[in-house]
Amino acid sequence: MIKICDFPCNNRREAEQEEDKYMLLFKSTLHMRRPFLTPETKKEYFDNRKDIKKEYDKIRRTEKAEEIKEKKRIAYQRDKHKYKETVKQAYLRNIEKNTQMITCNCGSTLQLRRKNNHEKTKKHQNFIKSFSI
Ligand SMILES: [Zn+2]
């Protein structure tokens, strides 16, 4: 590290802003990231990288599918009780909504949470067919 100058500042953000100024001035390539970005330049930076990031994520997901799967499995095994609790809380939070009884257009009475499966049944499909003719 080479000391460029003394810069009296009130906080870390001001120091980072100054560092960024010198980084651009000397076209430094030592850092992976810019130390300071204004909200506008930050938005511009991420908008420019959106397609690159999307492509990178896509490749990563396919190449490292097994590794990601294994990591998730280990994380699940480690915090099994936490995951189960989260699912349980979601179930309890939505129980009223999900057990609400509805009457479908085909005449069937069912729970709201079974609606997607019901729409795939022969009874419902036949009703849709007869209705469209
Ligand atoms: Zn139906």
Query: What is the 105 CA–ligand 1 centroid distance (Å)?
Result: 6
Q: What spacing in Å lies between the alpha carbon of 106 and ligand 1's midpoint? A: 4
Residue 96: both structure tokens together = 């009223």
Query: What is the spatial distance between Cα 22 and Cα 6, in angstroms, rounded to a whole number?
Result: 13
Q: What is the pLDDT of residue 5?
A: 86
Decide if 127 contacts 119 (C-beta within 8 A).
no
First CA to last CA distance, the chain: 79
Q: Which residues contact 111 (CB under 8 A, 6 or more apart)?
A: 98, 99, 100, 101, 102
> How many A from CA of 98 to the centre of ligand 1?
17
pLDDT tens per residue across span 23-78:
989 888 888 888 888 899 889 988 999 999 999 999 999 999 999 999 999 999 99
User: How do the domains of the chain map onto residue ranges?
Assistant: 12-63, 66-132
Angle, CA 36 vertex, CA 30 and CA 41 arms, to 5°: 110
What pTM, to 2 d.p., does this model score? 0.42
**Residue 129 alpha carbon to ligand 1 centre in Å:** 12
Q: Provide the percentage of residues in the chain whose pLDDT is more than 70.
A: 99
Distance CA 75, CA 71 (A): 6
Alpha carbon of 132 to ligand 1 centroid (Å)? 14
